Amino acid sequence: MAATQVVRSEWTKIRSVASTVWTLSLAAVVTIALGMLISALSKAEFDNLSTRDRLSFDPTFISFAGMSLGQLAMIVFGVLVVSNEYSTGMIRVSLAAVPQRGTFLFGKIAVATALALAVGMATSFAAFFLGQAMLGEHKASIGDDGVLRAVIGGGLYMTLIAMFSMGVAAMLRSPMLSLGILMPFFFLISSILGNVDATKKVGQFLPDQAGSKIMQVVTPIGDDTPYGPWGGLGIMALWVVAALIGGYVLLKRRDAQ
Amino acid sequence: MIEAVGLTKRYGDKTAVYDLSFQVRPGAVTGFLGPNGSGKSTTMRMILGLDNPSAGHVTINGYPYRRLPNAARHVGALLDAKAVHGGRSARNHLLCLAQMSGIPARRVDEVLGVVGLHEVARKRSKGFSLGMGQRLGIAAALLGDPQVLLFDEPVNGLDPEGILWVRNLMKSLAAEGRTVFVSSHLMSEMALTADHLIVIGRGRLLADMSVKDFIAANSAGFARVRTPDTEPQAREKLSAALTEAGGHVLPEQDGALRVTGLPLPRISDIAHDNDVRLWELSPHQASLEEAYMRMTQSAVDYRSTTDQKAGLQQPLPPGALPPVPVPGQGQPGWYPPPPPQQGQPYAPAQAPAGTPAANPYAQPAGQPGQQAPQAPAAPAAPPANAPSADDLTKPEDAR
């Protein structure tokens, strides 16, 4: 009963502010457009590639190249959905209306997650098909082995990134602090840690590094990642669960301000 | 019914609220008074289960807020008028609150009408003035038609018409048998609105009594007596004579005397007997504001100091006198008496201009007239062009 009320209310909250529409559209547009651009460039560069690189050529993964930027907009969406309550002071009104804090937080996250999933899936499929169109004769087909898994995985990846951001924002409360930590982390630090040899062993267990494995169809030569595509997504999901539990525990215990 | 028992809240080593116990009863407006930072808002947040008390507990109808069945339909609150997402329209703001508590959407349009915001209902609240924000917050508090209402500084930023509206709203809500708890830092406002007062300072309870008792206990009347400036010895003489007659004489900054304990005619008689001429003999009522400030002065957290303007002022030319300080400025513990022309700041808006003014000094001694500035049962206001002759016979303070 209380849960359905919260879900309806959170849906009103999300659709009645412009920032939701903006961040989600930006996530879709950036992911698709950048994916198309890089697909087109890869097609032009294909003939110059070494044999080794040609064997690792993964048309599906290339069409998702825009996600490195597009995920930032997803992060902003996840952070704003939660921290708007704190930056406006609305949290006190909300928690006075719904004293069951768990119901409130998870109702909010459920609505935002459903929306992120819808947008993420649509973006992932669009990025795949438009990217493949750019790749011309090098394209992959949706019926190929593992491709459908990678495309659906792309949508799940974007959803999980948004959920992780919601959990972090629930812990940190301030939108500036949350974005100031999440944006550089996912845009720079994580990819540096995941690609530098010295830190790779640890870096590959970071949420985005592990999660993006789901979008790979062709395993690069010499890849020694200790988990598969679903294993990687599972690692990412564990991060999300940890962030949400952290957010819930803090919301439950702290004063609402 | 709100009941707090030993309520205490600490933030680190700062105690915001200490051992607060009080009851807020239904059917009356209870004013919650205290200087800025005295713990009013913290207490209100604890009542709503938003902040956890460090010790003690507070209940509404016997339940802690978080365990109150259907809390949002029982309790309505205005905590902070700015707690609104500026990009959301007023209607959508209320709609999401209504949906959260399972209140039908048509109730949103009803309360928008009640607070007078129906015309701007679809405008973003970003562009709202402080007063419109307060109205929106009050609308949110009224949404669930609750039996218990909490308002934190509801008149902040409202125009006089809005203040009157809030005042009447509070009274009518209480008259319907609801519990109404209103915080303010303005004694004058509370004297008009509230039936009962809870005064706190530095998080501690200073007073818990009805407004009537508060006025009786705290607002003593006095007479201001001024003798000719040219005869300081006359002033001394009168002062001694008045003291001898049982009065209490307090010299004021500008040379006047503040006399308590003697009716005006008696003071005049004594002056006449002692052959002292008077330049002024006027009745005054110490304001509630004054009583309240006296009560809380030791508990004020933020006090202004005299602006030294060090290094900002040009040195005085030789021979020039330093500026005379304004009386009362920067002198702790000294509160100016109400200026004669201002009237009582706490007089009801619909002042009972027709009622015979009860003046303690115009009556025989031994029968201290109890002037009730807050007159809930005041007779209907007379026609606008009330007899001005009547006004002339009244002491200025009662106007």
Asked, for residue B341, whether it belongs to a domain, the answer is no
User: Torsions phi, psi of B290, nearest 5?
Assistant: -65, -45
Half-sphere exposure for B8 (CA within 13 Å, toward CB): 11
Query: Is the per-residue pLDDT at B360 higher than 70?
Result: no
Same domain, B172 and B261: no
Domain boundary among B285, B304, B338: B285
Residue range of the domain that includes B232: 220-285
Task: Say yes or no for a CB contact (<8 Å) between B50 and A84.
Answer: no
Residue B261, pLDDT score: 83
What would the two tokens of residue B368 be?
Answer: 């201290």
- Look at residues B255, B285, B315 and tell me which one is the last residue of a structural domain: B285
Q: What percent of chain B lies above the pLDDT cut of 90? A: 42
Q: Which residues of A15-34 are buried (b: 16+ CB within 10 A; e: fewer)?
A: ebbeebeebbebbbebbbeb
Which residues lie below 8 Å from residue A153, measured CB to CB, with a gap of 6+? A124, A214, A215, A229, A233
What average pLDDT does the segment B33-60 reach?
A: 92
Chain B neighbors of A99, CB-CB under 8 A: 49, 65-66, 68, 71
pLDDT at A48: 85
Q: What pLDDT was estimated at residue B340?
A: 45
Q: What is the mean pLDDT of residues B376-382?
A: 43
Residue of higher predicted confidence among A50 and B272 = B272
pLDDT score recorded for residue B220: 66
User: Residue A191, exposed/middle/buried by CB under 10 A (0-12, 13-18, 19+)?
Assistant: middle
CB-CB neighbors (< 8 A) of B98 in chain A: 9
Question: Which residue in A220, A93, A1, A204 sits closest to B77, CA to CA?
Answer: A93
Among B45, B96, B138, most A C-beta atoms within 10 A, so best to mutate, is B96
CB proximity A97 to B under 8 Å: yes
What is the phi/psi pair of residue B69, to 5°? Answer: -65, 130
Q: Residue B385 falls within a domain, yes or no?
A: no
Beta carbons of B110 and B144 less than 8 angstroms apart: no
pLDDT of residue B58: 96
Strand, coil or helix: A200: helix
- Return the axis-axis angle of helices A90-97 and A101-135, rounded to nearest 10°: 120
Tell whether A14 is within 8 A of chain B (Cβ): no
Two tokens at A215?
Answer: 């979008």
Task: Provide the residue range defining the domain that includes A213.
Answer: 2-253
What's the confidence (pLDDT) of residue A65? Answer: 92
Q: Which residues lie below 8 Å from residue B330, measured CB to CB, with a gap of 6+? A: B305, B306
Compare all CA atoms of chain A with the CA of B72 and give the residue at the minimum distance.
A97
Cβ B87–A94 below 8 Å, yes or no?
no
User: Do B212 and B250 reside in the same domain of the chain?
Assistant: no
Average pLDDT along chain A, 257 residues, taken 10 residues at a time: 90 91 94 95 87 86 93 96 93 91 95 97 96 89 91 96 97 95 91 84 90 89 85 96 96 87
Q: Helix, strand, or coil here: A84? A: helix
**Same domain, residue pair B111 and B150:** yes
For residue B261, the domain's CATH number is 3.30.70.600
Is B207 part of a structural domain of the chain?
yes
Least confident of B94-108, B129-143, B373-387: B373-387
Which of B379, B347, B64, B43 shows the shortest CA–CA distance to B204? B43
Assess whether B194 and B227 both reside in one domain: no
Contact A17 B85 (CB under 8 A): yes
DSSP state of A226: S
Do A255 and B95 count as a contact with CB atoms less than 8 A apart?
no
- Asked whether residue B131 falls in the same domain as residue B264, the answer is no
Q: What is the pLDDT of residue B253?
A: 80
Strands (E), chain B: 2-11, 14-24, 28-33, 55-60, 75-78, 148-152, 179-184, 196-201, 204-210, 221-226, 248-251, 257-260, 280-285
Give the total number of structural domains in chain A: 1
Say if A12 is an interface residue toward chain B (CB within 8 Å): yes
Asked if residues B124 and A36 have their Cβ atoms less than 8 Å apart, the reply is no
Kindly tell me if the per-residue pLDDT of B38 is higher than 80. yes
Number of domains in chain B: 2
Kindly give, in sequence order, each residue whose CB lies less than 8 Å from that of residue A116, ignoring residues fewer than 6 positions away: A24, A74, A77, A78, A158, A159, A162, A163
Q: How far apart are CA B285 and CA B263, in angstroms?
A: 13
Collapsed DSSP state (helix, strand, coil) of residue B52 = coil
What residues of A are in contact with residue B84 (Cβ under 8 Å)? 88-90
Q: Which helix (H) or strand (E) holds B192?
A: helix B187-193
Q: Identify which of A5, A90, A255 has the shortest CB distance to residue B85.
A: A90
In a shared domain, residues B69 and B166: yes
User: Does residue B96 share a domain with residue B236?
Assistant: no
Are A186 and A75 spatial neighbours (Cβ–Cβ below 8 Å)?
yes
Residues B326-346: what's their mean pLDDT? 46
How many angstroms separate the Cα of A19 from the Cα of each of A15, A23, A161, A174? 9, 6, 18, 16
CA distances to B346, B351, B354, B374 from B386, in Å: 21, 11, 8, 20
Cβ-contact B389, B230 below 8 angstroms: no
Q: Give the pLDDT band (50/70/90) at residue B346.
A: very low
DSSP state of B124: B
Q: For residue A12, which residues of chain B lie inside 8 Å, CB to CB? A: 92, 95-96, 99
User: Is the CB of residue A11 less than 8 Å from the CB of residue A108?
Assistant: no
Whether residue B367 is contained in a domain is answered as no
B257 shares a domain with B114: no
Q: Which one of A1, A93, A100 has the shortest CB-CB distance to B83?
A: A93
Domain-embedded: residue B346: no
Same-domain status, B67 and B155 = yes
Residues of chain B above pLDDT 70, percent? 75
Contact yes or no for A96 and B48 at CB 8 A:
yes
Q: Convert the pLDDT of each residue in B383-394 to its tens digit.
A: 444 444 444 444
Q: Report how far apart, in Å, the C-alpha atoms of B267 and of each of A151, B222, B249, B382 are.
A: 97, 11, 11, 34
Cross-chain CB nearest to B85 (options A9, A88, A100): A88
Distance between alpha carbon A57 and the CA centroid of its chain, in Å? 24
Q: Can you read off the two tokens belonging to residue A73?
A: 């907009």
Which of B263, B285, B307 corresponds to the end of one domain? B285
Average pLDDT of span B191-211: 90
- What does pLDDT average to over chain B? 80
Cβ burial of B66 (10 Å; 0-12, 13-18, 19+) is: middle
